[in-house]
Structure 1
């Protein structure tokens, strides 16, 4: 009987030993799992969905003044480079204004060259002025110089005439002084003879009368000489005045022409810009979304849109929708993982991004009635195919975003439901 009990006891011992091994294995596994859960950290994340948008949005091209369509060079869907011509407007009106102003400026420059030369007394230098305008100014310059020469010649003639009058008055004065001297000498000889009664007194009276007449004639000749000399000075002053008036006229016209030129030159850039704006160019590199003018010869109102360009090669942004209960875990500069749903995550991976904008208020989706915050994420890299070529990511593509927050241990995630249960237990 003892021999039969021994195998049973041995079997029970083996069974207990196996149970202990399994128990300790389970305990060890649980301990290892707890240690792993306590030491392993994962990113706390906020998930959302959004769409790809270009950073510079849709570019609407218009013209400030409007005009008549002369040529349409693109159509919807075409790729364009920055500066490519989209539409030409007729430059007839703006070109006419610009051409007229340019012609007026050339005319004023030639006029200023002539007037400046007249003021400075040198030959005009017309530079590169149009020959037709130079011919006009040369004709005016010749007429003006002829006018000056005529007035100068008239002044010189008056000076010469006054000079001759001075010479004649001087000769007359000298003759009358000579006559007076002779009469005074004769009078000096007669007086002694009258006193000695050699000749009658009447001869003395006659000689004195003749001497008095001669003195008056000398005085008259002196006055005539003074008048003649004053005439010379007046003729010379008149000549100077005529030249001064001539130059003053040129100086006044020069000042006025310079003011007009300055005003015209200030207007010219605006007129040139109007002509340039008749050529409608793409402001960015991208794709033509719509061409809003379709008829050559049709008119475009001032400021009306002409074309729409979707920018390419532009930094892409994701506008993601985040639930209000998650917005507290979102901050500017937060890292994000962006999955473009059009491309397999397992094949092409995800984009790294950064939160650049958070809407201040929640908005409501009119279709679903759900509220959400708009978060803008800027992408920092590209998705590449197997050949290393960047994949095209365009506006409107759907994206799943994962906003990475602070790291938490796996153990904390396990105990979170228990903590919440404790906080809400035994409440009405």
Structure 2
């Protein structure tokens, strides 16, 4: 039998085997498809998928950021930071020019020392002391500054003032001493004249009796009467002189008291004026000292610079001007998002949120978790599009924020926000819109 004949005889058997193998492969294929599709349906029905609301948002600054201001303002000498720069607590932000302030400080310091030493002299004059009375404020300044020249000058002035006053008082005292001596002499003279009058009066009584009886001539009586009248007149003049001298003594004493009173009044007025000027000058000195001490404006906390309004060295800062703000590093990371009004019923406080910072490389930037911390009480209106929305705020907890430590998060950065409202299956996700549409259609019918 030939080979060709042999093959011709076996062809039906091979054909049957091939057909059987083909059917088996098709069966296995359909079996695999059925199992795969069934598994897919089972997974679609049972596997949980996150259900939520996707919205867009942006990073915001928390409310307690630090505003950098200066109480008195000035001229910028050096600007040391830029917008968005990270700074450490105590780092110099900018430096103000101090040339004018330092000059004013030196002038006020000199005036302050002069006033304090003048006060020491006036206090000594007021209390009648021969040495300056040093106040506690002057003692502090003496420890920190050289005021010896002022002290010596005012000590000499105190002594001169004292000498002038004492000379005037000594002159008055000398006049009073002279008047007292004159007064004493006149008083002795008046005493002698009174004694003489007493004796003449006794003589007249005897002479009148003798003249009456004719024992003496009338002329003798008349001479004695004339003598009595003369002495009486002299006594009256002497008493007048005494009264005038006593008045002069009183005037000199009053003049001495008035001189001392006017001196004290003048000292008191000068002292009050000096102390007022001391207080005023001290306040100006404190202000100048404060400006000098705060010429270098430093960061109160570690954080990020935002909202700079000064950019030029040599520029002028007005008192109280907001120069920049610092967002502290320990501030909570907050994100504002706008939720369409038709989805607001799905959003509740405390819901978990997944945040993706789209400004960074998505392959290396992790998604972080947060929670809804605020939902606006009423809907708001987008001024640009006119569309209504609800504003919600999301806060990233500290643990999740640590995952972003290597990134510089700045206010205004865009964020994709996914608010997880629950779980659902893939079948539910695919067929729910169809069922909702069917339900609405049936209700309409």
TM category (shorter chain) comes to: 0.7 to 0.9
Equivalent in 378, 381, 390 of residue 362 of structure 1: 381
Shift in Å at residue 310 of structure 1? Answer: 5.8
The alpha-carbon distance between structure 1 residues 360 and 156, as it changes in their structure 2 partners (threshold 3 A), is farther
Please, what is the CA RMSD of the aligned residues? Answer: 4.0
> Which residue number in structure 2 is paired with residue 263 of structure 1?
280
Normalised by the size of structure 2, how large is the TM-score? 0.71
**Structure 1 residue 312 displacement after superposition:** 3.1
Contact residue 352 and residue 372 of structure 2 kept, 8 A = yes
1:186 aligns with 2:193: no
- Decide which moves more: 153-162 or 276-285: 276-285
Q: Does the 8 Å CA contact 1:58/1:310 hold for their aligned counterparts?
A: yes
Conservation of the 8 A alpha-carbon contact between 2:126 and 2:268: yes
- 2:246 corresponds in structure 1 to 229
SS of structure 2 residue aligned to 1:399:
strand
Retained in 2: the 8 A contact 1:293–1:307? Answer: no
Distance 1:300 1:132, change over 3 A: farther
User: 2:73 aligns to what?
Assistant: 65
Per mean C-alpha deviation after superposition, the further-off stretch among 262-271 and 106-115 is: 262-271
From 361, 364, 368, the equivalent of 1:350 is 368
SS of 1:351's equivalent in the other structure is: strand
Q: Given the superposition, is the C-alpha separation of residues 52 and 226 from structure 1 closer, same or farther in structure 2, using an over 3 Å criterion? A: same
Matches within 5 A, 1:35-184: 45-55=52-62, 65-67=73-75, 69=77, 71-73=78-80, 79-122=86-129, 123-126=131-134, 127-128=138-139, 129=142, 130-184=147-201
Deviation at 1:56, TM superposition (A): 5.4
Contact 1:105 1:265 in 2 (8 A): yes
Partner of residue 409, structure 2: 394
Superposition TM-score, scaled by structure 1 size: 0.74
- Residues 1:243 and 2:251 aligned together: no
| CA distance in 1: counterparts of 2:208 and 2:89, whole angstroms | 121
Cα distance, 1:334 vs structure 2: 3.5
Partner Cα separation in structure 2 for residue 181 and residue 241 of structure 1: 44
Q: Unaligned 5+ residue runs, structure 1?
A: 1-28
Please list every run of 5 or more consecutive structure 2 residues that lacks an aligned counterpart in the other structure.
1-37
Name which of structure 1's ranges 139-148 and 53-62 shifts more when overlaid on structure 2: 53-62
CA distance in 1, matches of 2:245, 2:102: 66
> Is 1:207 equivalent to 2:207 in the alignment?
no
Q: Distance in 1 between matches of 2:133 and 2:375?
A: 65
Partner of 1:275: 292
Q: Which moved more, 1:335-344 or 1:135-144?
A: 335-344
Q: Contact between 2:200 and 2:224, CA under 8 Å: does it hold in 1? A: yes
Q: Give aligned pairs, total.
A: 383
